[in-house]
Amino acid sequence: MKRRAKAISLFAAGILILLIGITLSETASQDHEKEKLKGGATESVSKENIPPKVKFGLPVDSFEVVQHVVESGESFGNILLANGIEYGVIHHIAENFKDIFDVRRLRSGKSYTLFHEVKNDTKVARYMVYEPSPVNYIVFDLQDSVQVYKGEKEVKKVRKEVSGLIRSSLYESLVSKGASPALTMHMADVYAWSIDFFRIQKGDAYKVIYEENFIDDTVSVGIGRILAADFKHGGQDFYSFYYEKGTDYKDYFDEKGKTLRKAFLKAPLNFSRISSRYTPKRFHPVLKRWKAHLGTDYAAPRGTPIMSTANGTVIKAGYTRGNGNYVKVKHNGTYTTQYLHMSKFAKGMKVGKVVKQGEVIGYVGSTGLATGPHVCYRFWKNGKQVDPYAQDLPAAEPIKEEYMADYLKFMSDLKLRLDQMELPQDKKDEVLIASVK
Ligand SMILES: [Zn+2]
- Backbone phi and psi for residue 64, each to the nearest 5 degrees, phi listed first: -90, 115
Spacing, Cα 284 to ligand 1 middle (Å): 10
CATH number at residue 227: 3.10.450.350
**Please, what is the angle between helix 2-20 and helix 182-190, to 10°?**
140
Domain containing residue 86: 55-152
Domain contains 182? yes
Q: What is the DSSP letter of 365?
A: B
Spacing, Cα 278 to ligand 1 middle (Å): 8
Spacing, Cα 293 to ligand 1 middle (Å): 6
- 324 & 420 share domain: no
Predicted confidence band of residue 434 (pLDDT cuts 50, 70, 90): very low
The amino acid present at 45, given as its one-letter code, is V
Cβ neighbors of 40 (< 8 A, separation 6 or more) are none
Q: Give me the chain's average pLDDT, please.
A: 82
Spacing, Cα 344 to ligand 1 middle (Å): 17
- 253 & 279 share domain: no
Q: In this predicted structure, what is the pLDDT of residue 44?
A: 41
Domain contains 26? no
Domain contains 42? no
Helix (H) or strand (E) holding 249: strand 249-253
Choosing from 104, 134, 152, the residue where a domain stops is 152
Domain contains 3? no
Q: pTM here?
A: 0.58
Cβ neighbors of 8 (< 8 A, separation 6 or more) are 185, 186, 188, 189, 358
Spacing, Cα 166 to ligand 1 middle (Å): 30
- 210 & 112 share domain: no
At 28-39, the pLDDT tens digits run: 333 333 333 333
At 236-290, the pLDDT tens digits run: 889 999 999 988 888 899 999 988 777 788 889 876 667 777 877 767 777 777 7
Spacing, Cα 263 to ligand 1 middle (Å): 23
- 207 & 62 share domain: no
Domain contains 407? yes
Spacing, Cα 393 to ligand 1 middle (Å): 21
Least confident of 232-236, 271-275, 336-340: 271-275
> Quick one: which of 327, 197, 323, 339 has its CA closest to 266?
197
Q: Are 393 and 351 in contact (CB under 8 A)?
A: no
Spacing, Cα 411 to ligand 1 middle (Å): 42
> Quick one: which of 109, 64, 106 has its CA closest to 84?
64
Give me the number of domains the chain comprises: 3
- 148 & 163 share domain: no
Choosing from 152, 187, 215, the residue where a domain stops is 152
Mean local confidence (pLDDT), 299-308: 93
User: What is the separation of C-alpha 374 from the centre of its chain, rounded to a whole number of angstroms?
Assistant: 24
Least confident of 169-183, 217-231, 337-351, 366-380: 169-183
At 412-428, the pLDDT tens digits run: 999 999 999 988 764 44
Burial 244-277 (b: 16+ CB within 10 A, else e): eeeeeeebbbbbebebbbbbbbbbbbbbbebebe
Q: In this predicted structure, what is the pLDDT of residue 435?
A: 32
- 249 & 345 share domain: no
Spacing, Cα 279 to ligand 1 middle (Å): 10
